[in-house]
Structure 1
Amino acid sequence: MVASKVHLVRHGEVFNPERVLYGRLPNFRLSDLGVQMAQAAAAEVLASGRPVSRLIASPLQRAQESAQPFADAFQMSIDTDERIIEPTNHFEGTRMRGPGGALRQPRNWPYLINPFRPSWGEPFKDVVDRMLAAIDDAWVSVEDGDVVLVSHQLPIWMVHRALAGESLAHDPRQRRCDLSSITTFERHDGRFVETSYSNPAAPLQTGATDVGAV
């Protein structure tokens, strides 16, 4: 036997008053609003009546904190998987736009030359490969029930595009992966298929800060 569903959950809002691109930088925790968002995601899965058999999170603080409401709701521990972490990014720790923004500095322009790879960080294909490997391992790691993986916007969106047969290169402004959203997959005929997307924290999104990745 294997899992019934895999839910990819994005973390909640991060406390980021300087509005920097935090990437893999340490010590970026959830804001108070982000905690509420994470609680909303866990509450939705709990209310669905789905049995969750395993909980896995990225090692970054914001993902671990976003997994905690699931741990509390389903009375289970949080396993950590490095493969579902945020991608590497040249622009970590900078503000991308506005006065003094990284995009206005000529020394950074070479990192923008190839959006298809992309040239500013971990190749999209590498992100897909490690995410799908983690999902596949999570799928076979339980005898039944669902698995929740708490990850980040770009890795989740890469899984969506890869499984949908879409180009991995894309406009970051067009990602459908809101804070604390839930993207759900099942395995049909030997391959993973996306079956639903929900945004349980939508009522909390107004005014939220979401500038963590390119």
Structure 2
Amino acid sequence: MSRASIHLVRHGEVFNPDGVLYGRLPEFHLSDLGQEMARRVAAYFQEQQNSGAKLVQVVASPLTRAQETAAPIAAALGLEIVTDERILEAENRFEGLSGVKSRLRNPKYWPLLRNPIKPSWGEPYAAQVQRVMAAVEDARIRALELGGEDSEAVLVSHQLPIWVTRLAAEGRRLWHDPRNRECTLTSVTTLDFDGGQLTGVRYAEPSADLLPGAANIPGA
């Protein structure tokens, strides 16, 4: 069997003074704090590499905030960024709106809330898991091709796709309270594999000390 690890990294804080649910909208850049978070997670992986970890690939969502988070990671590891649309943010019909919580009191939005299990306001949770796990599997195979046994890849994505993928990996239900997601800014959710078999899930927060006071509006 061939062991490999795939690290799912959420992007850093976004400059978003108007509190827009930015979803897949272009040109939402990291804030100054977000850039510091990106440097922090890059140092986290560089330390692992210096300790012998075989980090052989960096993959990122095409969205600006993910690319800007991936850039210092790739530079620290001496790698190029591979872009993969399968780890893109989830679709959301509230995209582009600010003050989403207050808007939910408006009856015109209530039809979007008819099925929170799916969810009815955006891309089904199961569809997100399917596309992210397909990207994870390709990254696992490619990591083994590049580095052999115990190779690792970093995939920079977004909170909701990462979280529902973790829920699926742990055999939990996909519908959830967004306030209870354990997927903070630049957190690292690691999926460990032996061959094609998932053997474990790990979680780390390299930017934990930077989180108090950070804006944390979900993209979806």
| 1:54 pairs with 2:60 | no
For 2:54 and 2:137, how far apart are their aligned partners in 1? 19
For 1:193 and 1:91, how far apart are their aligned partners in 2? 36
Which SS does the other structure have where 2:104 is aligned?
helix
Aligned to 1:153: 159
Question: Residues 1-214 of structure 1: matches in 2 within 5 Å?
Answer: 4-48=4-48, 49=51, 50-97=53-100, 101-142=102-143, 143=145, 144=147, 145-188=151-194, 190-214=196-220
For 2:27 and 2:218, how far apart are their aligned partners in 1? 13
Counterparts in 2 of 1:206 and 1:9: CA distance versus 1, 3 Å: same
User: 1:20 touches 1:212 (CA, 8 Å); kept in 2?
Assistant: no
Deviations 1:44-80 (A, max 9, x none): 1111232211110000000000001111101111000
Instruction: Report the AA paired with residue 135 of structure 2.
Output: A
| TM-score normalised by L of structure 1 | 0.94
Divergent runs of 4+, >3 A: none
User: 1:182 touches 1:199 (CA, 8 Å); kept in 2?
Assistant: yes
| TM-score normalised by L of structure 2 | 0.92
For 1:212 and 1:87, how far apart are their aligned partners in 2? 10
Q: What's the C-alpha RMSD, in Å, of the aligned pairs?
A: 1.5
For 1:39 and 1:77, how far apart are their aligned partners in 2? 16
For 2:107 and 2:211, how far apart are their aligned partners in 1? 34
Counterparts in 2 of 1:195 and 1:123: CA distance versus 1, 3 Å: closer
Deviation, structure 1 residue 93:
1.0
Sequence identity of aligned pairs in percent? 49
Counterparts in 2 of 1:8 and 1:181: CA distance versus 1, 3 Å: same
Unaligned runs of 5+ in 1: none
Deviation, structure 1 residue 97:
4.4
For 2:124 and 2:210, how far apart are their aligned partners in 1? 32
Deviation, structure 1 residue 212:
2.8
Which SS does the other structure have where 1:114 is aligned?
coil
